[in-house]
Chains A and B, each alone.
Chain A
Amino acid sequence: MDHTQELQKALQELRRITGIGLDVQAESEEETEQAVAQIRCLCTAYKEKYNKTDFLQSLLTGGIPSYDIHDRASRLHINVDERRVLFLLETKKMDETVTEILKSLFPSQTKTYLVPVSEKAAAILRPMRAAETADNVRAIARTIVDTMNTEALAHVRLAYSSIIGTLSDLPAAFQEASLALKVGKLFYSEQTVFPYNELGIGRLIYRLPFPLCENFLKEIFGEEIPESFDEDTTATINRFFQNNLNIAETSRQLHMHRNTLIYRLEQIQKRTGLDLRLFEDAMTFKVATMVINYLHAERNQ
Chain B
Amino acid sequence: MASLSLEGIQKIYPNGFHAVKDFNLEIADKEFIIFVGPSGCGKSTTLRMVAGLEDISGGTLKIDGKVMNDVEPKDRDIAMVFQNYALYPHMTVYDNMAFGLKLRKVPKDEIDRKVKEAARILDLDKLLDRKPKALSGGQRQRVAMGRAIVRNPKVFLMDEPLSNLDAKLRVQMRIEISKLHENLGATIIYVTHDQTEAMTLGTRIVVMKDGVVQQVDTPQNLYNTPCNLFVAGFIGSPQMNFLDAVCNVKGDDVTLTIGEHVLKVPGSKKKALIDGGYNGKTVVLGIRPEDVHDSEAFISNSPDSVITSTIKVYELLGAEVFLYFDVAGTQMTARVNPRTTLRTGDKAVFALDMEKIHIFDKETELTITN
Chain A residues within CB distance 8 Å of chain B? 96-97, 100-101, 104-105, 107, 109-110, 139, 142-147, 149-155, 186-190, 228, 231, 234-235, 238-239, 252-253, 255, 289, 293, 297
Contact = CB atoms under 8 A, between A and B. Distances in A.
A149 B85 contact: no
Contacts of B88: 104-105, 107
A146 B210 contact: no
Interface string B311-326: 0000000000000000
B199 interface: no
A297 to B, nearest CB: 8
A186 B15 CA distance: 7
B84 A238 contact: no
A189 B15 contact: yes
Contacts of B83: 142, 146
Contacts of A154: 53, 73
Given A153-B51, A231-B12, A107 B90 contact: yes
A107 B14 contact: no
B17 A189 contact: yes
Interface stretch (B74-82, B174-182, B349-357): B74-82
A143 B87 CA distance: 10
Contact of B54 (A110, A151, A155, A255): A155
Interface string B12-25: 11111111010000
B52 interface: yes
Interface string B324-360: 0000000000000000000000000000000000000
Contact of A151 (B12, B16, B53, B100): B100
Contact of A143 (B53, B73, B84, B210): B84
B149 interface: no
A228 B73 CA distance: 31
10 contacts: A104-B91, A142-B83, A142-B84, A146-B83, A149-B48, A150-B79, A153-B73, A154-B53, A190-B15, A293-B14
A188 B147 CA distance: 31
A189 B13 CA distance: 6
A281 B254 CA distance: 48
B18 A149 contact: no
Contacts of B14: 189, 293, 297
A149 B80 contact: yes
Given A97-B103, A104-B88, A252 B81 contact: no
A252 B16 contact: no
B15 A151 contact: no
A146 B86 contact: yes
B16 A289 contact: yes
Nearest to B104: A97
What DSSP secondary structure best describes chain A's contact surface? Answer: helix
Nearest to B45: A190
B285 interface: no
A157 B194 CA distance: 27
A151 B99 contact: yes
Contacts of A186: 15
A153 B17 CA distance: 24
A290 to B, nearest CB: 8
Given A151-B147, A153-B74, A154-B53, 9 more contacts: A104-B90, A143-B84, A143-B86, A145-B84, A146-B85, A147-B84, A149-B53, A155-B53, A190-B15
Given A109-B90, A153-B51, A146 B15 contact: no
A253 B210 contact: yes
A234 B86 contact: no
Given A155-B53, A235-B18, A100 B86 contact: no
Given A107-B90, A189-B15, A238-B17, A147 B73 contact: no
A145 to B, nearest CB: 8
B101 to A, nearest CB: 11
B80 A190 contact: no
A152 B74 CA distance: 8
A238 B103 contact: no
Nearest to B75: A153
B65 interface: no
B365 A139 contact: no
Contacts of B34: none
A100 B80 contact: no
Given A143-B84, A239-B210, A149 B17 contact: no
Contacts of B52: 153, 155
A187 B100 contact: no
A147 B86 contact: yes
Contact of A234 (B16, B21, B51, B80): B16
B89 A107 contact: yes
A187 B15 contact: yes
Contacts of B287: none
